[in-house]
Amino acid sequence: MSILEFLQKFHPVLLQGTLVTCAQFLLAALIAVLVAHVAGLGKVSRNPLVRGASVTYIEVFRGTSLLVQLYWIFFVLPLFGITLPNFTAGYISVGLNIGAYGAEIVRGAIESVPRGQWEAGTALSMPQGVRMRRIILPQALAIMLPPWGNLLIELLKATALVSLISVADLMFQTRQINASTYLSAQAFGTALIIYYVLARFLITPTMRWAERLVARRLGRA
């Protein structure tokens, strides 16, 4: 079967899977960005309890396999009375895992802001929260955006693992097609191209646009 015949026959299923993958990506990215900022700020906190909780989260989720975390959230949490649908368990697992890596990006960006900017806020008698929000974080955002672009591409690729808990994403649909037709080259080749298109023509341009926008706001353009 040619690739055109393959697409004509299976494009509705592949499109449905791609939409599920996009939904998983967007929801996981939202969780990752939120927990990364919370944990990143927590790691530079002077409060030892907040800092300890942030370090524990980062080390646990960076130091263990995403696949194991996925299975824990979907299969083990029900033993403790917490049952999540497979779709929800998928994006939460991916978001928490990538968020741990993102937390280190946030922490590094905050600590990369020149000390003079911190001292300027102190000289203006700004409370710590106001200084962080109005002076430090806007400059840290410009530093952290490029590595976040790479991390979001990794997040997109990580969503393929949710197929292992029967989330009907692109990889799940591709595996189903392959199992019923044995057209491995066409099935996985098409999936490869779709993942590449999503990363190259959606995520990368969006992050570059965000970098230019932040640079203009900071007067660096």
Q: What is the CATH number of the domain that holds 50?
A: 1.10.3720.10
Residue 169 to residues 58, 160, 174, 219, 221, Cα–Cα distance (Å): 27, 7, 9, 41, 39
Indicate whether this model's pTM tops 0.85: yes
- Predicted local confidence at residue 135, as pLDDT: 77
Question: Rounded CA gap, 122 and 203, in Å?
Answer: 37
d(CA 166, CA 181): 19
Q: Give the residue-averaged pLDDT of 13-32.
A: 97
CA distance 95 to 207: 18
Kindly state the average pLDDT of the residues 187-202. Answer: 95
- For 108-158, the pLDDT digits (tens) are 998 888 777 666 666 666 776 677 777 788 888 889 999 999 999 999 999
Angle at 133 between CA 130 and CA 135, to 5 degrees: 90
Please count the structural domains in the chain. Answer: 1
pLDDT in tens, 48-103: 999 999 999 999 999 999 999 999 999 999 999 999 999 999 999 999 999 999 99
- Which residue range(s) make up the domain with 97? 3-217
Please tell me the least confidently modeled range out of 21-25, 93-97, 123-127, 177-181: 123-127
Q: Are 64 and 97 in contact (CB under 8 A)?
A: no
Alpha-carbon distances, residue 69 vs 17, 21, 80, 134, 163 (angstroms): 23, 19, 15, 36, 14
Task: Name the average pLDDT for the chain.
Answer: 91
Q: What is the pLDDT of residue 2?
A: 79
CA atoms of 17 and 25, how far apart (whole Å): 12
pLDDT at 221 over 60: no
Greater pLDDT, 204 or 119:
204
Q: Which residue has the higher pLDDT, 30 or 182?
A: 30
Cβ atoms of residues 22 and 175 within 8 Å:
no
Give yes or no for residue 1 having a pLDDT over 70: yes
Q: State what percent of residues in the chain have pLDDT above 70.
A: 94
Using pLDDT thresholds of 50, 70 and 90, give the confidence band for residue 215: confident
User: Would you say 46 and 73 are in contact if contact means Cβ atoms under 8 Å apart?
Assistant: no
